[in-house]
Chain A
């Protein structure tokens, strides 16, 4: 997926940026998923999800379904597949549209964990 040449001059292309890639080849040029998908949104495959029944799916789609047999956040899926988060979002959107996975978004900015949760976090960290 990675190309060697740095491509044309671009303000973002230097040593601090990553290698030049063509990340959206896998998604056929689609860059925007149909759903939001936070980095810590959990993806969970349906119990009877069978990606083999969908011959047009890529191998990456199938791997996503296998990884999501337990709830896995989007960021972890991207790391496991070594794909950019934006690409994984589109692929998860494909699976969602076929009913193969469900997505569980975090509660968002309005949400503040209650005192019991914060206590559990502090105690859990102390026990590490």
Chain B
């Protein structure tokens, strides 16, 4: 595979290709659950520091003494083969952490937006974000046990979703169901390139 890069030091170690997929949606829509269900390793958590120091300032003397806070990001890994890994990143749920989204979205293959029909409007900001940046996405309607069932058509209408954006029911707790959502995303990405992935 020509996409595999070799160590520049000439040690011959193969560096895998890492594809980044974002898992977005409103607070409580099941992002962490979906990442957990799909990840081959225990879902990992990483933190990003919330501080103005990271933005436009090179070196702050005394910043070591300043208190700040962090926001957690869930992520998981799916190894496709030794040369190809998929990393899933759950986006922080709060709108004010948008600046972290930009970092997460950089170079991302695409995104899954999880929708909860009890609080459909919660996923509007995620949909807007990916639409505005031309990042391919699919919408998974997470079926909670006590969630009211709507038809996909009704949800598509309520979300004012472009007809080309795949929309499907899913169960974020279920690995097989989550797999189907990811597959629909990758097929959507391929379609956007004009090269459909054969079944």
Q: Which residues of A contact B (CB under 8 A)?
A: 3, 5, 7-8, 10-13, 16-25, 27-32, 38-40, 42, 44, 46-47, 70-71, 73, 75-76, 78-79, 83-87, 102, 104, 106-109, 111-122, 124-126, 128
Contacts and interface: CB of A to CB of B under 8 A. Distances in A.
A75 B46 contact: yes
Interface stretch (B104-112, B123-131, B137-145): B104-112
Interface residues of B, number: 71
A23 B60 CA distance: 13
B67 A29 contact: no
26 contacts: A5-B67, A7-B67, A18-B47, A22-B68, A28-B64, A31-B60, A32-B57, A32-B58, A39-B89, A39-B103, A40-B87, A44-B11, A44-B15, A47-B9, A47-B11, A79-B75, A84-B48, A104-B5, A104-B7, A106-B18, A113-B109, A116-B1, A117-B19, A118-B197, A122-B186, A125-B182
B16 A24 contact: no
Interface of B: 1, 3, 5, 7-9, 11, 13-20, 44-51, 53-54, 57-73, 75, 77-78, 80-81, 84, 86-87, 89, 93-94, 96, 103-104, 106-107, 109, 175, 179, 182-183, 186-187, 189-190, 193, 195, 197-198
A122 B183 contact: yes
B69 A115 contact: no
A1 B128 CA distance: 37
B69 A86 contact: no
Contact of B69 (A19, A42, A119, A120): A19
Contacts of A79: 44-46, 75
Given A17-B71, A125-B179, 8 more contacts: A24-B64, A29-B62, A32-B58, A84-B47, A108-B107, A121-B19, A121-B186, A125-B78
B9 A86 contact: no
Contact of A17 (B20, B50, B54): B50
Contact of A120 (B45, B72, B80, B89): B80
